[in-house]
Structure 1
Amino acid sequence: MECIVSLEGLAPSQHGQLKYAAAFIDETITDIQLETNQIRIVHASAKGNDAIEQRVRKLMERFSQGDFGFKENILFEHPVSTPYEGDIIAELTERKIIKVLEPGLFIFREPFSSLMRFLDYSFVTKVANRFSGVTEEQYPAVIHAETLNKTNHFTSFPEHIHFLTHLREDLDIIETFSQSIREAGGWKQQDQPLDLNETMPKPKFTMNPSTCYHCYEGLQNETLEGDGIVVTAISKCHRFESRNHSDFGRLLDFSMREIIFVGKPDFVKEHRLQAIEYLKELAVEWNVDSMLEIANDPFFTNDFQVKASFQRNQEMKYELRLTIPHIKKSIACSSVNFHSNTFGNAFNIKMGKRNAVTGCVGFGIERWAFAFLAQYGLDEAQWPVSFREQYHAWQQKSL
């Protein structure tokens, strides 16, 4: 079935947000297309078109309330005429450099995997290590659900969460499960007779959606000395984004390098401003077609307008976006964030008698690699001289 809904009354700047959120209104949706002032949704819902339209209009109301609007506010631009305009993902797939397991879930092979390692090395040496006293930490890929609760992730981004659980510690349940799989001839996703309430406990953990959360969890109930600390870490992050995983660079499982600032307000704000300058320098040095703009997180819940407006008005989030010539769009590859004392309060991180404030800089490793190759292709002779020389020097050092 097709459900077509007019977008009259919704600002064009919010059409993309609506398309993203619409993927979550019904699990039978197979396609969503934005057309001239309307949205077309293909689905197989037993509830029919009326129910789909009602949910679309509910989202439209959410995104159109208040004096907001996604006004473009570009702080920096580095326009470049890049040599490659092909479909880089199609080329990488055809050449078996990436293996697509399903939308948003890839296996990366050489040379893409080397490019990812080089990018992470560069973000550490060119950005993180420029901050005095920076230390490196390593985090698990899973996180306590209680920790996510303290970050308000459940109320801001509930659609992203991958819950983790396991079979109950019950010999009968474990043996019955194993026997049922054996008799069925193997795991069959659609035919599993599992009663999750009976066979699995409530989740204690989820997959980690953001690198910096572990840093705050690790500092819980601590009092920091001096003006603050700088920590860097890379971890695997996981966000379920439904049909949106078919969008360029929107992965289910991805690598996020972060530089995290925790301390007094002036310390965090000054380090954040430095990080912005380092990002701009990197974009120019590597000659990537890019821009830095004020942004907001894609809050999913009913208080979208309040949270997004606050972020933008206070300039709490900047994104460095790299152009993808083939689709004539850009994607966010890095973000620079200021959280005020949200996480300092949540985790009782102290600076003297006051709670700490926090900020972070994030680098999506796969996104940077995809975006760079989308502009310059796999032929290294076409790469910017500075990038190519640094990449080859890193390769020699890594041998």
Structure 2
Amino acid sequence: MNTCTISLAGLAESQHGQVKYASAFADEHIQEITLIDGHIHITHNSPNGDEGIIARVERLIERFSHGDFGFKENILFENKVDTPYEGDIIAELVERKAIKVLEPGLFIFREPFSSLMRFLDYSFVTKIANRFEGVQEEQYPAVINSHTLNKTNHFTSFPEHIHFVTHLREDLDVIEAFSQSIREDGGWDQEKPLALDNNMVKPNFMMNPSTCYHCYEGLENETLEGDGIVVTAIAKCHRFESKNHSDFGRLLDFSMREIIFVGKPEFVKENRLKSIEYLKELAVEWNVDSMMEIANDPFFTNDFQVKASFQRNQEMKYELRLSIPHVKKSIACSSVNFHSNTFGNAFNIKMGKRNAVTGCVGFGIERWAFAFLAQYGLDEQQWPATFREQFHAWQEKAL
């Protein structure tokens, strides 16, 4: 195993985390990445050697430092709270068997964590989504068509995230030969190469990476009445993030509740502003240590700086971040987004003669649960009184 070190000198400190994140995709033989004092340390067993790893990471550094676009940074809201718990909540949950880690980023959730997740989703619906007049509940599949994903520009903006879904060709010889080879090997052998390329169909479906995409797909070529519509849905989302799955709360498979606004610009913007206020109210009501700031998506492409800077300077994305005392960092648990007419154009969603604009509010259910417990622990007597009372009232209804 080799370790190489790359300096981030000359790169804005605000970009260091993004380069660390992207470096996980530089080479499939990377085992571990750490960021210490402005240097990235990479442990690997790559046949490309240290020079190959360094060259690829330097390409990423160049990508994220190219041009002077002047990221706009601004904190919109802070709720500073002294919270009672500072332990490693994931380690405690594993020890108590409340979660089972199958592999980094892939968990089985058991009680009481599973109940907390259901309560949080219930609360986001009743306390925020239902405050929007005429909100409609929808349910979406776990997979999404490649044509739909193409229209969202996900293939070009976040190619590293995509989980492809395929199947064996509809050919009796192929199916029987595949089954026989597995039988002869005594079961599936992850290390043994299989001749799958010619036996698998080109993927028409991918695992859905974002809840709201299905909403726009469902409205394709429609003309909406009035000022617009509000939809809420929860879906399982999937994003491959390589070694970054070892980071706190960064899951391979996660639950995302969204509130989606589709309509006239004023309608979407007004509801987006309302959702920001509702989120701030909830953070105060539940007494979670949190902040809301202008943010950008982790674009992976060569035009990262242009896209990210545009998002920040136009204030198209806000994130509500909850602190994680044990690691002395915060994680994004909710986001509030404005897409302008990007998806209205892509899916030909009309408001009269013009294309609709869209926005959405997202709640990462598992992240909210992890972050809340990271601040208050599993002892319910330590929880904020309002949160505890609401949780117990929900439990009585659920039984």
TM-score by length of 1: 0.99
Instruction: Report the equivalent of 2:194.
Output: 193
**Residue 231 of structure 1 aligns to which amino acid in structure 2?**
V
In 1, the alpha carbon distance for the partners of 2:31 and 2:70 equals 29
SS of equivalent to 1:258: strand
Instruction: Report the equivalent of 1:263.
Output: 263
Instruction: Report the equivalent of 1:241.
Output: 241
In 2, the alpha carbon distance for the partners of 1:94 and 1:86 equals 13
Instruction: Report the equivalent of 1:87.
Output: 88
Residue 70 of structure 1, CA deviation: 5.0
SS of equivalent to 2:41: strand
Residue 205 of structure 1, CA deviation: 0.2
In 1, the alpha carbon distance for the partners of 2:331 and 2:319 equals 9
Q: Extract unaligned runs of 5+ from structure 1.
A: none
Residue 192 of structure 1, CA deviation: 3.4
Instruction: Report the equivalent of 2:382.
Output: 382
In 2, the alpha carbon distance for the partners of 1:298 and 1:289 equals 24
Residue 204 of structure 1, CA deviation: 0.1
* Alignment map for 1:56-95 (pairs within 5 Å): 56-68=57-69, 72-95=73-96
**Residue 153 of structure 2 aligns to which amino acid in structure 1?**
N
Instruction: Report the equivalent of 2:366.
Output: 366
* Alignment map for 1:266-345 (pairs within 5 Å): 266-345=266-345
**Residue 169 of structure 1 aligns to which amino acid in structure 2?**
E
1:324-364 C-alpha deviation (Å, 9 max, x unpaired): 00000000000000000000000000000000000000000
Residue 37 of structure 1, CA deviation: 2.3
More deviation in 322-331 or 65-74?
Answer: 65-74
SS of equivalent to 2:375: helix
Residue 71 of structure 1, CA deviation: 5.4
1:280-316 C-alpha deviation (Å, 9 max, x unpaired): 0000000000000000000000000000000000000
Residue 6 of structure 1, CA deviation: 1.5
Residue 9 of structure 1, CA deviation: 1.2
SS of equivalent to 2:262: strand
Instruction: Report the equivalent of 2:172.
Output: 171
**Residue 163 of structure 2 aligns to which amino acid in structure 1?**
H
1:39-83 C-alpha deviation (Å, 9 max, x unpaired): 111111111111111111110011111223555410000000000
Residue 33 of structure 1, CA deviation: 1.1
In 2, the alpha carbon distance for the partners of 1:120 and 1:35 equals 36
Residue 194 of structure 1, CA deviation: 2.3
In 1, the alpha carbon distance for the partners of 2:73 and 2:342 equals 26
Task: State yes or no: 1:99 paired with 2:131.
Answer: no
Instruction: Report the equivalent of 1:215.
Output: 215
* Contact map agreement 1:4 1:38 (CA 8 A) in 2: yes
**Residue 138 of structure 2 aligns to which amino acid in structure 1?**
E
* Contact map agreement 1:8 1:37 (CA 8 A) in 2: yes
In 1, the alpha carbon distance for the partners of 2:110 and 2:270 equals 39
* Contact map agreement 1:156 1:300 (CA 8 A) in 2: yes
1:340-392 C-alpha deviation (Å, 9 max, x unpaired): 00000000000000000000000000000000000000000000000000000
Aligned length: 398
Instruction: Report the equivalent of 1:229.
Output: 229
SS of equivalent to 2:254: strand
Q: Extract unaligned runs of 5+ from structure 2.
A: none
Please provide the CA RMSD for this pair.
Answer: 0.8
In 1, the alpha carbon distance for the partners of 2:143 and 2:384 equals 38
SS of equivalent to 2:160: helix
Instruction: Report the equivalent of 1:145.
Output: 146
* Contact map agreement 1:13 1:70 (CA 8 A) in 2: no
In 2, the alpha carbon distance for the partners of 1:240 and 1:221 equals 31
Instruction: Report the equivalent of 2:11.
Output: 10
SS of equivalent to 1:189: coil
**Residue 47 of structure 1 aligns to which amino acid in structure 2?**
N
229 and 169 in structure 1: CA distance in 2 versus 1, 3 angstrom threshold: same
1:199-224 C-alpha deviation (Å, 9 max, x unpaired): 00100000000000000000000000
In 1, the alpha carbon distance for the partners of 2:36 and 2:316 equals 32
Instruction: Report the equivalent of 1:45.
Output: 46
* Contact map agreement 1:208 1:237 (CA 8 A) in 2: yes
94 and 304 in structure 1: CA distance in 2 versus 1, 3 angstrom threshold: same
1:156-196 C-alpha deviation (Å, 9 max, x unpaired): 00000000000000000000000000000000111032232
More deviation in 65-74 or 105-114?
Answer: 65-74
Task: State yes or no: 1:134 paired with 2:129.
Answer: no
**Residue 340 of structure 2 aligns to which amino acid in structure 1?**
S
SS of equivalent to 2:266: helix
**Residue 265 of structure 2 aligns to which amino acid in structure 1?**
P
More deviation in 65-74 or 287-296?
Answer: 65-74
**Residue 353 of structure 1 aligns to which amino acid in structure 2?**
K
Residue 2 of structure 1, CA deviation: 1.3
